[in-house]
Amino acid sequence: MSARKVHLYALCLLTSLAVWARPATAEERRFLYVATPGIRNYVDYGGIGVIVFDIDNGHRFVRRIPTWQPPDGKDPENVKGVAASARTGKLYVTTYKRLAAIDLLTEKMLWEKELEGGCDRLAISPDGDNLYVPSFEGAHWNVVNGATGDVMAKIVTKSGAHNTVYSLDGARVYLAGLHSPLLSVADTTTHTVAKTVGPFGHSIRPFTINGSQTLCFVNVNGLLGFEVGDLRTGKMLHRVEVEGYKPGPVKRHGCPSHGIAMTPDEAEIWVVDGHNSMVHVFDATVMPPKQTTSFKVRDQPGWITFSMDGLRAYPSSGEVIDTRTKRTLATLEDETGRQVGSEKMLEIIFANGKPIRAGNQFGVGAKR
pLDDT band of residue 17 (cuts 50, 70, 90) is very low
Residue 366 lies in a domain: no
Residue type, 193: V
Residue 208 lies in a domain: yes
Of the ranges 56-60, 179-183, 364-368, which one carries the lowest mean pLDDT score? 364-368
Q: What's the rounded Cα separation, in Å, for the pair 234 and 237? A: 9
Most confident of 5-14, 65-74, 299-308: 299-308
Which residue in 265, 357, 240, 328 sits closest to 21, CA to CA? 265
Residue 193 lies in a domain: yes
Query: For residue 173, what pLDDT is reported?
Result: 98
pLDDT at 19 > cutoff 90: no
pLDDT band of residue 9 (cuts 50, 70, 90) is very low
Q: Considering its fold, how many domains does the chain have in total? A: 1
Tens-digit pLDDT profile for residues 239-265: 999 999 999 999 999 999 999 999 999
Q: What's the rounded Cα separation, in Å, for the pair 76 and 69? A: 7
Half-sphere exposure of 229 (CA within 13 A, CB side): 28
Domain range holding 255? 3-358
Q: Are 64 and 334 in contact (CB under 8 A)?
A: yes
SS3 55: helix
pLDDT at 355 > cutoff 60: yes
Q: Are 33 and 346 in contact (CB under 8 A)?
A: yes
Q: What is the DSSP letter of 67?
A: -
Share of the chain above pLDDT 70, in %: 93
Element (H, E) at 255: none
Q: Are 99 and 149 in contact (CB under 8 A)?
A: yes
Angle at Cα 278 formed by Cα 267 and Cα 17, nearest 5°?
25
Residue type, 137: E
* CATH code where residue 342 lies: 2.130.10.10
Q: Are 173 and 188 in contact (CB under 8 A)?
A: yes
Higher-confidence residue: 10 or 187?
A: 187
Residue 368 lies in a domain: no
What Å distances lie between residue 80 and 50, 108, 120, 164, CA to CA? 13, 20, 5, 11
pLDDT at 134 > cutoff 90: yes
Tens-digit pLDDT profile for residues 328-347: 999 999 999 999 999 999 99
Q: Where are the alpha helices (DSSP H) in the chain?
A: 3-19
SS3 366: coil
Query: For residue 181, what pLDDT is reported?
Result: 98
Residue 95 lies in a domain: yes
Residue 365 lies in a domain: no
Q: What's the rounded Cα separation, in Å, for the pair 226 and 242? A: 8
Residue type, 195: K
What is the total residue count of the chain?
368
Count CB neighbours of 337 within 10 A.
7
Residue 96 lies in a domain: yes
Whether the upstream peptide bond of residue 256 has omega within 30° of 0, thus cis, is: no
- The separation between the first and the last C-alpha atoms of the chain, rounded to the nearest angstrom, is 22
Element (H, E) at 209: strand 204-209
pLDDT at 16 > cutoff 60: no
Residue 364 lies in a domain: no
pLDDT at 198 > cutoff 70: yes
Half-sphere exposure of 182 (CA within 13 A, CB side): 11
Element (H, E) at 136: none
Tens-digit pLDDT profile for residues 72-125: 889 999 999 999 999 999 999 999 999 999 999 999 999 999 999 999 999 999
What Å distances lie between residue 289 and 128, 225, 240, 267, 271, CA to CA? 33, 11, 7, 10, 12
Q: Are 90 and 67 in contact (CB under 8 A)?
A: no
Q: Specify burial of residue 28 (Cβ count, 10 A radius: 0-12, 13-18, 19+).
A: middle
Query: For residue 23, what pLDDT is reported?
Result: 56
Count CB neighbours of 109 within 10 A.
16
Query: For residue 73, what pLDDT is reported?
Result: 87
Sign of CA dihedral 15, 18, 310, 206: positive
